[in-house]
Structure 1
Amino acid sequence: MTTTEIHPIELDDGIVLRAIAADDGPALAEAYARNREHLAPWEPLREPEFFTAAVHERGAAADVRRLREGTAIPLVLDDGDRIVGRVNLSDIVRGAFQNVHLGYWVDASLQGRGLATASVGIALHHARSAGLHRVQAGTLLHNTASQRVLEQNGFERFGTAPRYLWIAGEWQDHVLFQRLLED
C-alpha cells in the first residue's frame, strides 16, 4: 500500500483523515504538546524531547517508509490548519496471521463528535483493502470511551491482559479487542 492509495476522507466540518506525510513532523509535535495532559493517562510517560519537532520529523519520515513498505498504515486527522488526531495501524504481520494493531486519539477540543468512531471505521476499510484478516486493539480497563469506539465498529472483547503495557508510569491491565475483517 502506498500513500497514493490512501485518499483523504472528510469526516466532519473540514476535518480530514489522510495518510501521514513526511513534512507532518512539526504539526505532530504541536498536536502532542497541545494534548499533553489529555493523552497522559493513556500513554507511556513522555520525556520533554518527545514534544519537539525533530523527534516527530524523524517519526513521520519513518511512518511514511513503513507505509510504503506495507508494514503500517499511519493516518492523521487534519483540520486544514493543524493535526488534531492520529489513527495508526501498526505492526502488520503477514503469513498465517494477517494481523495489525490499532491505536488512535483525537484532540481534546474535539471529543464527543464521533471522530474517533468514524476514523476507526475508515482504518478498518484500509486494513481490509490491505488484505488483512484481523485488527487487534487494547484499552485500559477504565477507558470506556475507547471501548465504545471499538464496539461501535464491530470489535469484540476477547480477553484481559494483566500488566500489558507501561502506561502513565506503571504496568496496566488492558481489555483486548479484535475485529475479524471477513465478518
Structure 2
Amino acid sequence: MIIDGVEMREIRTADAAGVAEALDRNRAYMAPYEPRRAEEFYTEAGQRGRIEELLTARADRRARPFVLLAADGVAGTITLQNIVRGALSSGAIGYWVDQAWAGKGLATAALHEVCRIARDEERLHRVEAGTRAENLASQRVLAKAGFEQYGLAPRYLHVGGDWRDHRLFQLLLNDEPPAL
C-alpha cells in the first residue's frame, strides 16, 4: 500500500539496517516517549533480532508488523501485536514515524490501514493503543483514526528516569461474535 508516496508493507529482516538507522537518527526526538534502550537496539543486529521475533509472532498469528518506506529510507514502523483470539478478540497497536514525517498525516493513514487489516483480515473486535499522558501529538493521531480514551494507567511505563502515566485508547472494529 502507498500512503502519500510512502510504501507500507510487512517488515522483512532485510529492513533491519534501515530501521536501525532511522531509530538512531530519531533517538532524541522520541526520547520523551520511549523507554531507555540498550545500545544494541539501535544497531542492525539488534533490529534484526527484534524483526525476527516479530516475524515469529506473525507466523503464530500474534502480530502483523509493518515498515513505512519513503524514497530516502525508513519513515517509521507500525505493528499490530499482542493479538488475542477468542472471547477477547483484540490486539494492540504501536507506531512511530520519523521526525521529518511528523504532522504530515502518515501516522494517521498507516493507523487507518492497520485498523482495516485488524478488522477485515484478522477479524478482531477491537484494537488498543497507549500513549504517555503528555504525548498530545500521538493522541491526536489516535483521535483522527476514531480511537476513544477509555482509561488512565498510572505509572505504567518507565520512561525518562521515572514511571510515567499513560492514556489508554481503543477502537471497536465490529460486533461480530469471535470465531470458535
> Is 2:139 aligned against 1:147?
yes
Shift of 1:169: 2.4
Q: Which residue of 1 aligns with 2:155?
A: 163
- Classify the secondary structure of the residue corresponding to 1:172: strand
Match of 1:88 among 79, 86, 90: 79
Partner Cα separation in structure 1 for residue 86 and residue 113 of structure 2: 24
TM-score (normalised: structure 1):
0.91
Q: Which residue of 2 aligns with 1:3?
A: none
Give the CA RMSD over aligned residues.
Answer: 1.2
Q: Which residue of 2 aligns with 1:10?
A: 2
Kept in 2: contact 1:89–1:100 (CA 8 A): yes
Q: Which residue of 2 aligns with 1:25?
A: 16
1:49-84 deviations in whole A, cap 9, x for unaligned?
A: 211111111111221222122100111110144111
Matches within 5 A, 1:76-115: 76-115=67-106
> Is 2:45 aligned against 1:37?
no
Q: Which runs of 5+ in 2 are unaligned?
A: 176-180
Kept in 2: contact 1:23–1:60 (CA 8 A): no
Q: Which residue of 1 aligns with 2:63?
A: 72
Q: Which residue of 1 aligns with 2:178?
A: none
Q: Which runs of 4+ in 1 moved over 4 A?
A: none
1:121-162 deviations in whole A, cap 9, x for unaligned?
A: 001011112011110111111111111111111111111110
Partner Cα separation in structure 1 for residue 117 and residue 141 of structure 2: 17
Partner Cα separation in structure 2 for residue 165 and residue 99 of structure 1: 21
Partner Cα separation in structure 1 for residue 83 and residue 161 of structure 2: 27
Partner Cα separation in structure 2 for residue 166 and residue 136 of structure 1: 20
Counterpart amino acid of 1:121?
H
Matches within 5 A, 1:130-145: 130-145=122-137
Q: Between the two proteins, what is the percent identity of the paired residues?
A: 45
Counterpart amino acid of 2:36?
L
